[in-house]
Amino acid sequence: MKLTAPIYHLKRKAKALSREHSIPLNAALDRIAKAEGCDSWSLLAARHVAASPAKALYQQLKHGDLLLIGARPGLGKTLMALELAAEAMKAGEHSFIFTLEYNERQVFDRFRALGADPAQYGALFAFDCSDAISADYIIAKLASAAPGTLVVIDYLQLLDLRRASPPLAEQVAALKSFAREKGLILVFVSQISRAYEQRDKSFPTLEDVRLPNPVNLALFDRTSFLNDSGVRFQTNP
C-alpha cells in the first residue's frame, strides 16, 4: 500500500494529534489510519509490512554480505533496516542492532511503528546503543554470533566520530572480513549527501553517499536506496 508519509512519521503525527485534541493515542492512530484508507492502525501496520519490499530484499541477501541502505533524512532508511531485522527473526535467525543514533525506547518505538514487537522474538533479538560502538566493538560483541545473524549498524558515518577509533575505511574493511569469516549479514544505514538533491537523478547512487573521509564503497555487496516514491535495490559488480 502507498502511504502519504513513512509510517514512523504517521505515528509521530498521531502523537501530535493526541496532544492537540487530548484524545488517547490509540484513537489518534486510528484516525490517522482512516485518513490513509484503513479502518484501524493495526490494519495499516499489517498492510504496510505485507507490502514492504523488505521481505523480497531479505531473501536475496547471502551470508557474508554487506548491504548499504541510503536515503535523505525522513525517508525510512532506518525503518527499512529494522524491517530486515524483523524478517531475519521471522526466519528463525538472530538480529543484532547497533545504533549510535537512538536509545532503547526509540528502537522499540520504531519496531512497534512497523507493527512488530522485538520482545516476541526473545533471544533472537539484541541491541546495543553504547557510545563506544566501532568496528572492534562490534566484532567483539559478535564473536559467538551464529552464521546468518543479521546485524544493523545505524549509521555508517557515526562510526567515524570517535578519534580513538581507526579510520572509517579500515573499520568497514575489518567488518567486511569479519562478516565473510563468520557468515553474517551486515546492514549499514547511511546518510546521503545534500548535493544529491541538486542532481537530476531519481534515486541516489554510491557517489551520493556522504563520506567525511574516504571509504572503498566497493566493499558493499548490495545497495538499497530510497526516495520519496520507492526503493531501488541492486547488487554491486
Grid cell listed for 16: 501530535
Inter-residue contact 76 to 232 (CB < 8 Å)? no
| Amino acid sitting at position 157 | Q
The domain made up of 54-235 has a fold known as Rossmann fold (3.40.50)
What's the pLDDT at 49? Answer: 60
What's the pLDDT at 161? Answer: 86
Mean pLDDT, the chain, whole residue set: 91
Whether the predicted model's global pTM rises above the 0.85 cut: no
Q: In sequence order, what DSSP letters do the residues of 49-84 get, joined into one string?
A: HHH-THHHHHHH--TT-EEEEEESTTSSHHHHHHHH
The SS3 of residue 183 is coil
- In this predicted structure, the answer to whether residue 212 has a pLDDT above a threshold of 90 is no
50 pLDDT band, cuts 50/70/90, is low
Q: Give the span between the Cα atoms of 237 and 231, in whole angstroms.
A: 19
* 142 or 113: which leads in pLDDT: 142
Inter-residue contact 218 to 62 (CB < 8 Å)? no
What's the pLDDT at 191? Answer: 96
Is the preceding omega at residue 102 within 30 degrees of 0, hence cis?
no
The ranges assigned to domains in the chain are 7-51, 54-235
